[in-house]
Amino acid sequence: MPARIIDGKAIARTVERELQPRIAALAARGIRPKLTAVRVGDDPASEIYVRSKARKAEELGLAGEVLHLPASTAGEELLREVDRLNRDPEIDGILVQLPLPARIDERAVVEAIDPAKDVDGFHPVNVGRLQLGRPSLVPCTPAGVMRLIESTGRTIAGAHAVVVGRSNIVGKPVAILLLQHHATVTICHSRTRDLAAMVRQADIVVAAVGRPCLIRAEMLRPGGVIIDVGMNRLEAGDSAAAALGPRKRAILEEKGSVLVGDVELEGAAEVAGWITPVPGGVGPMTIAMLMANTVAAAEGRWR
């Protein structure tokens, strides 16, 4: 039987509804949580991401602000702006859209953000709290991944979860969250021997490596939960296009490019029990969990 599609947009709307009473409680105290997103330069993708985050904040009754700095901004100037935002009592959440221009030290910028306002959950203080199982602002995509897994009703405790990818933004924090839910966790990466054999053992697969269609149907255990974090644009002539299913291949032939995940969706959907699509799976959840972090940051600052 084909996999059930995990609708990230619908689950994101559920998260947003859950936030409404908390937003209303803050409003009753005269508090409107404020999210400030900082963008450096004119990268079109970054512009879309930042604008969508600010727009969603406004839709939910939060205050959303975009601070756009020119591409010529020096690292020292960006650090001064972060310091100003840290000290602004009206701002509850700060995110600096990555990647930054190569000459700017991203680590220094992330570490300059007040951990209490670090709604991306990237500051070492929040990373450490997550590792120790203490309350923290959790990175948004991993938090969204967990909600997607939970939505299937599958028991995480005791399950074997394989995380493909070891980034600080997704792979490692997802693994920690799965461990906290009592899964047995294997992290795979570019140097893993026989990736297919490792993935085939998994009850839960989280693919977050940034390689289009890396995970294919023959690598999967039947009936498992597949969460595809990848977001890759394939162009005509790309060698990875050979792995595409008929529907995605038709889009590629018609439009010259197609958006795919790290999992070959059409084949995998014939084997898995549940699977997230790309787009429409993890992406909406990332923004929803950013809103949840902004509300939590406001509650923490004004409790």
Which residues are annotated as catalytic?
Answer: 53, 97, 120
Cβ distance 244 to 234 under 8 Å?
A: yes
CB atoms within 10 A of CB 27: 12
At position 277, the amino acid (one-letter code) is P
* Helices of type H across the chain: 8-28, 44-59, 75-87, 106-112, 124-132, 140-151, 171-180, 195-200, 246-255, 265-268, 282-301
Q: Indicate the helix (H) or strand (E) that contains 96.
A: strand 93-96
Dist. CA 220–CA 224, nearest whole Å: 8
128-148 burial code (b ≥16 CB/10 A, e <16): ebbeeeeebbbbbbbbbbbbb
User: Rounded to the nearest 10 degrees, how much is the dihedral formed by the CA atoms of 70, 72, 76, 79?
Assistant: 20
CA distance 122 to 113: 9
Residues 6+ apart with CB under 8 A from 90: 34, 63
